[in-house]
Structure 1
Amino acid sequence: MRIAIFENIMTPGGHEVDFDRILVEELRALGHEISFYVPEGFQFGMDYHVPVTYLAGASVQYTSARGLKKLFLSARRERRRFGWYRRLYSAAVAGAYDALIVPTSTYRYLRALTHSILRRSPVPIIFIQHGVNPGEASKFLYVADRLENYPNIYPTVITFGDAIFDRKRDHIYTVLPPTFVPRDIKIEQKPIPQKDHPITIGFFGQFRREKRLEDLLQVYLAGNYRRPVRLLVQGSTMHDEDAKEFERIIALYEGHGIEFLHRGLIGAEWQRAIANVDALFMPYSAPRYRYHWGAMLFTAIGFRKPVLTSDDMNPEVFESFHIGETFPSGDMEALGRTIEHFINNYDVNAPKYHAELARAAEQYAPRKFATRLTELLSPHKNRGDR
């Protein structure tokens, strides 16, 4: 099958880039031909080594815009989206591809689709939504229902069940999240450090205030540890205010067994950094993590790294697999106790964590994710087959 991917989110690196890589490499491994359709001027975070078609109309970014400027840019972006949809429809009618995947969509993508000729696509189109939170559930369901009678439109949610807040629809599809695995390096599972050897804990990703890094550092430094431990904190920043805040934290806390790395990591360098730690800290506390799959959590599973995280991080995973320890979200005292337990008992519990990580890695394997998508795209698929 010739599968096209329509990507319009431009980022130099990160999990969006790696998610597209999962689609490209796993679908190709299943025997499909892959190509990209992107807006003009689009710059890829990596070379996927597949054909690229550029659509007239550049992407519009308004992340840092405020007020009237944001409204203006948002309206421009919506107009551009309608233009991309028209050109994607023309390409489908001309037989340029057999199926299309939109890898990161929202209810806004579907809302625009209800007014676009693309809803009448002659080929299947999967719109992937990376979770649905309570505030957007009704909007998502409303626009998905309006598309019910267009048999080639497949709103697809990455989630852990087969319903959206207990509401099932035959025309809404679900798929389990995929793990992120090392693709550019060869690694062997690190031996579990014994009690008298240091363990290295990693805290990785884009620096954002919601991750409560400083709270974590204060709690970590107050802990009573009966074994050597090292904490590596890596953070990339997109905005000046975030960079200044991260530098302030680095100046206060560097040393004392804590090492900082203030820059982005991409590709093999990112993979080596994850591979070289023993476990991952993800004490993020935000309601959205209950509804949107955690990319760092699924990196930990793919790299077989035990985790310590808050209990609002994809609780369905921890109900099925004991891959680390959790603490009540926002409870700093409980976080401190959990950190001490995790570190002081690591050599005893790590074998159990790793056995569960192997089970989880099988459940959420990228190949299974790609296979599920191709099942949806099958020309003989019954629309009622969820």
Structure 2
Amino acid sequence: MRVAILETVKTQGGFEQEFDRLIIDELKKQGHEAVLYLPEKSSLPVDFGIPIEYLSGGEIVDYEGAGKLKKIWLSIQRERRRVRWFNAAYEKACRHEVDAILLTTATYRYLRSLHKSQLKDSPVPVIFIFLGVNPHEKPKFLKQARRCQAYKNIKLKVTTLRNDFREDNVPNVELIHPPVLIPEGVTVTPHLTYHEPVRIGFFGHYRKGEKDVDGIIKAFVDCQLGGKAELVIQAAPTDPEDAADMERIMEKYAAEPSVRFIKGKVLGKAWYDLLQSVDVLFLPYSNERYLYNWSAVYFNALALYKPVLATPVLNPEVLAAYTVGREVDLNDLDRLHQQLKAFLESYEEMLPTYEKELQRVNADFSTALFLRNVLK
């Protein structure tokens, strides 16, 4: 098959392009031919190594640096252009230049644009991939999805770990598992070995009040493991107030040998090298949206064969089905202390189990299976 990836979002080192790359690489592995459909006069910060064909209708609309009012105007402009890009893709489909068109990180707004375009009547399958649907957006998604039932070649695929559509009667919506996210240029070792100190990576942006970093560090230090474990923390504050608080925390634990800080943002391959450099990933996500949207960092961890420490709201279906780490409670620091201590004390003994379960996860959530589910 010749498959087009229609990309309308431009980010610097963002998930959208990494997801595109993963799909393109798997298309090649399965013997398909991939082509990138890109709005005219646009470019992406990555080279996928496949042909690019440009769509008329204007270049990609970028929100970078835009204020609130300008974002509203740019949003309107993006939707108008999206209709024109869809019309241009429809013309290519009518000439049977491709066998299928993929939109890899769609939202209900894409479907709203679809209804205004000719692409709804495409003679080849047009596959929209949604990265989960949360309760806030679900009514809007369902409204647009139901309107699509009349379009025989429009396929709606929701990547999710749960089924929130049992009673909604939307036969044209298919739920599929997300794939493990294998980073480009990073060597994966599917065999776990024990060494000391066990390095626990705690990475991501720091926002004061969102993550009790001070309390988490204290819970770890109080385990008194005598050098058997090390907590590696990324100090990447988002604003001056956060930066001042992070400086306070770094100064407080500067003399603690089991705690190490990495300053600043890390992007691209350096980010994946950072994930690879630790043995365990601590994922302290507390936003309930992760009950509905799967976490890219979580699925990076699984692909890299890293056991995890995860919160109850972070894709709980994974730890419910696979013994790949431990759930932790960030709301009760005494309990967190006990959970961390129990995890670390049993870590060496549990390594064979973690390895076997991570292999099972990587088989059940493989990119090969994901792509087959997308294209079927």
114-123 vs 201-210, greater mean Cα deviation: 201-210
In structure 2, relative to structure 1, the CA distance for the partners of 1:54 and 1:232 (3 Å cut) is farther
Cα offsets for 1:342-369 (capped at 9, x unmatched)? 2333222233222211111111011110
1:344 aligns with 2:339: no
* Contact 2:22 2:182 survives alignment (8 Å): no
Cα offsets for 1:112-134 (capped at 9, x unmatched)? 21222111111101111100111
Question: RMSD over aligned Cα, in angstroms?
Answer: 2.4
1:248 aligns with 2:244: yes
1:260 aligns with 2:262: yes
65-74 vs 146-155, greater mean Cα deviation: 65-74
Paired letter, 1:366: T
Match of 2:75 in 1: 74
SS in 2 for 1:188: coil
Paired letter, 1:90: E
* Contact 1:128 1:157 survives alignment (8 Å): yes
* Contact 2:192 2:352 survives alignment (8 Å): no
1:192 aligns with 2:190: no
In structure 2, relative to structure 1, the CA distance for the partners of 1:135 and 1:68 (3 Å cut) is same
In structure 2, relative to structure 1, the CA distance for the partners of 1:96 and 1:286 (3 Å cut) is same
Match of 2:128 in 1: 127
SS in 2 for 1:49: coil
In structure 2, relative to structure 1, the CA distance for the partners of 1:232 and 1:351 (3 Å cut) is same
Cα offsets for 1:70-118 (capped at 9, x unmatched)? 3222211111111211111112112221110000011111112122211
1:10 aligns with 2:6: no
- For 2:201 and 2:41, how far apart are their aligned partners in 1? 36
Q: Please list, as runs of the form range in 1=range in 2, the aligned pairs for 1:206-245 lying within 5 A after superposition.
A: 206-207=205-206, 212=211, 214-215=213-214, 217-220=216-219, 222-228=221-227, 229-234=229-234, 242-245=238-241
In structure 2, relative to structure 1, the CA distance for the partners of 1:15 and 1:338 (3 Å cut) is farther
Segments of structure 1 that go 5 or more residues without pairing to the other structure are 376-386
Match of 1:28 in 2: 28
Question: Kindly, what percent of the aligned residue pairs are identical?
Answer: 34
Match of 1:170 in 2: 171
* Contact 1:227 1:343 survives alignment (8 Å): no
* Contact 1:162 1:168 survives alignment (8 Å): no
Match of 1:106 in 2: 107
SS in 2 for 1:345: helix
Query: Offset at 1:168?
Result: 4.4
Match of 1:384 in 2: none
286-295 vs 210-219, greater mean Cα deviation: 210-219
- For 1:366 and 1:278, how far apart are their aligned partners in 2? 23
Query: Offset at 1:317?
Result: 1.2
Query: Offset at 1:250?
Result: 4.3
45-54 vs 256-265, greater mean Cα deviation: 256-265
* Contact 2:220 2:337 survives alignment (8 Å): no
Segments of structure 2 that go 5 or more residues without pairing to the other structure are none
What count of residue pairs does the alignment treat as equivalent? 368
Q: TM-score, normalised by structure 1?
A: 0.87
SS in 1 for 2:266: coil
Query: Offset at 1:9?
Result: 1.7
SS in 2 for 1:16: helix
- For 1:132 and 1:210, how far apart are their aligned partners in 2? 26
140-149 vs 108-117, greater mean Cα deviation: 108-117
In structure 2, relative to structure 1, the CA distance for the partners of 1:210 and 1:35 (3 Å cut) is farther
Q: TM-score, normalised by structure 2?
A: 0.89
In structure 2, relative to structure 1, the CA distance for the partners of 1:60 and 1:129 (3 Å cut) is same
* Contact 1:123 1:152 survives alignment (8 Å): yes
Cα offsets for 1:130-161 (capped at 9, x unmatched)? 00111111111111000101011011100124
* Contact 2:24 2:34 survives alignment (8 Å): yes
